[in-house]
A and B are shown apart, each in its own frame.
Chain A
Amino acid sequence: MSEDSPTPSSPGDDPSGGEVPRLHSVGPDTYGNWRAIYLDNVERVYRIMYAHVGNRADAEDLTSEVFQAALKPLRVSASIGEVRAYLLATARTVLAAHWRRHYGLEVTSIDTEKERAHMDEPEPHSDASARVRALLDQLSDRYAEILRLRFLESCTIKEAARAMHISVGNAKVLQHRALQRAAAIHEGAS
């Protein structure tokens, strides 16, 4: 399978190449149809994409790409676990292609093992808020303040500068250094 291919081999295919059973019972661990697959997983996939691109437009495009690539070859007789693993594998290759296509290198990537565990939780949740709070707690007061104002309070750079009683130029520099510091902390933690 090519790394860029958004269509890994479909669950339900017989890996041995032998005859695939034609009839399947629909048990409690399978989906009845593509709609059930879609509705149970669209938010899960979107959350993963958003957490890796940070904006709605890209998250929507990439989520769309995942389902449009994955649903056709998917067999609804595949187990829920197989379906989610397949969606995740597709999401990983779609995201990798997105970064290489638009930015030339991979900025974020999906850790399929970690995300797989999240996907199986009965109600998908995001622990991003808690992660960000923990990250801010590890920064100096000024670094934490500029990032809090810009990202959590959605302040413009001028508003953030005014709130911190510094010039716009200094706010830009502070933001850049704060991001670098946050990245270093994040890198050390992962």
Chain B
Amino acid sequence: MSSRRIAGFVEALRRNRRPKRFDAKPEDVEAMRAAIEMTSGRPGATLPSSDFINDLHNRIAEQLDEPTSSPRPTSLISRRAAIGGLSAAAAAAVAGAVVDRELLRPSSTLRVASSQELVPDEGSWQPVVAENEVAPGQVVRFTTASTVGFVVNDGGQLSAISGVCTHQGCLLRHNDAEGRLDCPCHRASFSLQGDVLRHQFPQPIPALPHLQVRTRDGQIEINDARTA
């Protein structure tokens, strides 16, 4: 039945997973195409992870018979290059990029980045929510054209963190009862400060990047470089 096939396909895309293969019928194609279009419209969905860029680089080097144990040409590659010229803040926020990881380091030596303040080198401040809508103790989710995140008011101290899981880019949900952010895809959880609370993966995952935040004219703003 077409609707059942499409439902399974949609559910896989929602979880950013590979759909099960099936023999598609002509009547399936338009809905599949629309689902793909919708999925790629999620902020940051189309950014590759730095792990993938590194791993593929190493595989190609092996294929071209270049030794991968030699020092990587890190000086050739800036973080900007690897994230396609986006500001570090925006790219990390939307794609969960690990911003202090040296690019092209062999994956076996990768280490987990500590959460850190990301300073955009371009972009503009974007209002995301009215100041009076984030009372002390509250957490509010926001989206801009390129960024999904959460504004946290911790006893009057405002902070903003990415709302994208650093594992595979799924959108996090605020678990109000537990005071944390949960990933619906693989059950990772983060504190409201962005620290990893739990995960089920063999390798550790990075903390959530922080975003620059400020208040102005009664609005809470974050720096959203991609909309500049």
- Interface residues of chain A, those whose CB is within 8 Å of chain B, are 34-36, 38-40, 42-44, 46-47, 50-60, 63-64, 67-68, 71-72, 102-105, 107-108, 122-126, 128-133, 135, 147, 150-154, 156-157, 172-173, 175-176, 179-180, 182-184, 186-187
Contacts and interface: CB of A to CB of B under 8 A. Distances in A.
Closest 10 CB pairs of A and B: A132-B41, A183-B30, A54-B36, A123-B85, A54-B39, A183-B34, A151-B38, A57-B18, A43-B84, A46-B48
Contacts of A68: 59-60, 63
Contact of B85 (A102, A122, A131): A122
Contacts of B77: 35, 39
B181 to A, nearest CB: 13
A150 B12 CA distance: 11
Contacts of A52: 36
30 contacts: A35-B77, A39-B81, A42-B48, A43-B53, A43-B82, A43-B84, A50-B46, A51-B36, A51-B46, A54-B13, A55-B12, A55-B16, A55-B17, A55-B18, A56-B168, A58-B18, A60-B52, A63-B48, A71-B60, A71-B63, A105-B29, A107-B33, A128-B41, A128-B45, A147-B38, A152-B41, A154-B171, A176-B31, A180-B34, A182-B38
Interface of B: 3, 6-7, 10-14, 16-19, 21-24, 26, 29-43, 45-49, 52-53, 56-57, 59-60, 63-64, 73, 76-77, 81-86, 143, 145-146, 168-171, 184, 226
A182 B18 contact: no
A156 B171 CA distance: 12
A125 B46 CA distance: 9
A183 B76 contact: no
Q: Which interface residue of A124, A129, A184 has the most chain B CB atoms within 10 A?
A: A129
B36 A107 contact: yes
A105 B23 CA distance: 8
Given A35-B73, A154-B170, A108 B33 contact: yes
B189 to A, nearest CB: 16
Given A182-B38, A186-B33, 19 more contacts: A42-B56, A43-B48, A46-B48, A56-B17, A71-B60, A71-B63, A103-B22, A105-B26, A128-B40, A128-B41, A128-B46, A131-B37, A131-B41, A135-B41, A151-B14, A176-B31, A180-B34, A182-B34, A183-B31
Given A39-B77, A107-B29, A180-B31, A102 B21 contact: yes
